[in-house]
Every structure is written in structure tokens, then in C-alpha cells.
Amino acid sequence: MGALLLIGAGLAWLHTSGVTICLFHRLTGLPCLTCGASRAAAMALRGDVLGALKLQPFATVGFALAATGCGVHSACLLLRRRVVQVRLNPLESRAFWAAVVVLAALNWLYLVRCGV
């Protein structure tokens, strides 16, 4: 975990120095699917949730869902001594992943339009 934090800190420092790290952005001039995700996470942690949503909506909602899932998982382990599992049938699973792909594509179009 410490190594990931150091890597993240190094990438953040490079980004603030004006170095373009993203190979996709470097080659195409367009933002990648996750462009602005680190900045959005930092904004959300500082309490600027609306700013984070404006910068990178898909990643901000993803962070919020992941944090909620971790909280529910921890509470279930602590209080009930078991984990709640969500099971999807094949049709539900396909619909879920199709919705994720469509939302990710819409998010990318938003990023391209906004010039993130």
C-alpha cells in the first residue's frame, strides 16, 4: 500500500510539473477515460464533491460506490460476522456491464467536450 501511495505521489508531482503522463492523451490529444480521476478524488476528499463530479463524474460516483461498499462490508463483518453477497443471474450481469460500458462512454464524451 505504501508503494502505491509513493507512486501516486510521484505521478501527482509530475502532473503538477506539467508533464503529460497519459500515453493516450499524449498520442491523441484527447482525454482518456480516467483523465481527472486523481484530481477528482482529491477534490472529493477536501469536501468539494460538486467540483469532483464536474471534473470526472464517472470516477467520482465510482469512488462513492466503492467507499459505500467498503463501509457496508465492514459493518456486516463487525456486526453480523458475515458478508452480504450480491448475486446476479446471467441476464442481470450482462445488463449491469452494458450499463457500465454505456455510462463510461458517455463520461468519456463529456470529458472530451469539456476538455479535461
Q: What is the SS3 string spanning the chain? A: CHHHHHHHHHHHHHHHCCCCCCHHHHHHCCCCCCCCHHHHHHHHHCCCHHHHHHHCHHHHHHHHHHHHHHHHHHHHHHHHCCCCCCCCCHHHHHHHHHHHHHHHHHHHHHHHHHCC
More confident residue, 3 or 98: 98
| pLDDT on residue 92 | 96
pTM: 0.72
pLDDT at 64 over 80: yes
